[in-house]
Structure 1
Amino acid sequence: MAKYKVQPSGRERFFPENDIIVSKTDLKGHITYANRVFLDIAGLSEDEALGEPHCLIRHPDMPRCVFRLLWDTIAGGSECFAYVKNMAVNGDHYWVLAHVTPTFGPGGDIIGYHSNRRVPRRDAVAKAEALYRTLLAEEQRHTDRSAGLAASYALMQRLLAEQGVAYDEFVLGL
């Protein structure tokens, strides 16, 4: 999004219940495939999306620690589920329930990542949003970005441990 210098509009976009947003990235997170649903809701053409970092649609309300957990999980060869608030190029936002998986090559090495995103339940969005506000506030409390990320990640792990669940269990239990 930095390329577009977009500010959040405060307006939410929605996509049909039966639609699935699909994208694929290379190992560095650059988009190699985006389906029509992805392009339409993000307000991008295929030429604008392909080759760009997937963080192109990152909303500033999303705590970075959620993405750290997601990337650590998929880089380790496991799937990850997450509620994510994304931002279209006009500043509108949209919520998704993302299922991100590594893509394995013939030799068993990870060669990229695949993400399917569905319409999330509204009650689950409210719960995820509450957690994310807490985590983002912790990140922003620190002037050093690395320290903020580390502190919010530790807070997320502590809050989940208090509930006796891993992040995926938290997400799927919402």
Structure 2
Amino acid sequence: MERPVPKPVEREFPSDVFLVSKTDPRGVITYANEVFIEVSGYTEEELIGKPHNIVRHPDMPRAVFKLLWDTIKSGREFWGYVKNMAKDGSYYWVFAHVTPTFDSSGNIIGYQSDRRPVPNKEILKNIIEPLYTRMKSAEASGGIEAGMKVLKEALGDKSYEEFIFTLTYGGALT
């Protein structure tokens, strides 16, 4: 008799805390706050020195990370919804804000990510998850470019930032 596959468990964390991490320019973790360590299920030693994608969930479209990297490498900040995977296989959704860190000459020397709980689970369930599922499906047959095409169709004439802020806060960036 085949055993049923357990449903992945969602981890949640309080709305008044932030998961904070810092990386070098390649995305290797150089700092993780206690909340990030606790929610991810890794020890500090297991996180420091590892690529940040150690917590990447396989449900996430690669096109979202391409957009993230293109944005922050250009010196701009990125906001977006990200599904992460903890060490034990459970998952947690975050509303991520990733910013470049600059030296005194204006060169990017790393990145900081501040993640908070998703402010509206209905947006996640009704818009973000179905969009990411369509993007992943497109990527399976057509690569990142196909995922980007699905995203661009969903955005219409909005930028990704406008789309995210309209969904999350009901208005565009000011």
Same fold, TM-score > 0.5, yes or no: yes
Matched, 1:172 2:171: no
Work out the CA distance in 2 between the residues paired with 1:89 and 1:9: 16
Matched, 1:156 2:151: yes
Tell me how far 1:9 sits from its aligned partner: 5.5
Matched, 1:128 2:121: no
Tell me how far 1:123 sits from its aligned partner: 1.6
Matched, 1:140 2:140: yes
Structure 2 residue identity aligned to 1:66 = V
Question: Any idea what SS the aligned residue of 1:141 has?
Answer: helix
The Cα offsets for residues 3-31 of structure 1, whole Å up to 9 and x where unpaired, read as xxxxx951100001101000000010000
| Structure 2 partner of 1:35 | 33
**Contact 1:19-1:37 at 8 Å conserved across structures:** yes
The Cα offsets for residues 45-79 of structure 1, whole Å up to 9 and x where unpaired, read as 11000000000000000000000000000000000
Tell me how far 1:128 sits from its aligned partner: 1.0
Work out the CA distance in 1 between the residues paired with 2:136 and 2:149: 12
Question: Any idea what SS the aligned residue of 1:66 has?
Answer: helix
Structure 1 residue identity aligned to 2:153 = R
Matched, 1:13 2:6: no
| Structure 1 partner of 2:66 | 68
Q: Number of aligned pairs?
A: 161
Work out the CA distance in 2 between the residues paired with 1:118 and 1:100: 12
Work out the CA distance in 1 between the residues paired with 2:33 and 2:7: 24
| Structure 1 partner of 2:3 | none
Work out the CA distance in 1 between the residues paired with 2:133 and 2:74: 27
Work out the CA distance in 2 between the residues paired with 1:41 and 1:18: 14
**Contact 1:9-1:91 at 8 Å conserved across structures:** no
**Contact 1:9-1:90 at 8 Å conserved across structures:** no
Tell me how far 1:36 sits from its aligned partner: 0.4
TM normalised by structure 2 equals: 0.89
Question: Any idea what SS the aligned residue of 2:59 has?
Answer: coil
The Cα offsets for residues 128-151 of structure 1, whole Å up to 9 and x where unpaired, read as 111101100101124xxxxx1111
| Structure 1 partner of 2:171 | none
Larger Rg: 2
Higher relative contact order (CA 8 A, sep 6+): 1
TM normalised by structure 1 equals: 0.89
Moved over 3 A (4+): none
Work out the CA distance in 2 between the residues paired with 1:128 and 1:91: 21
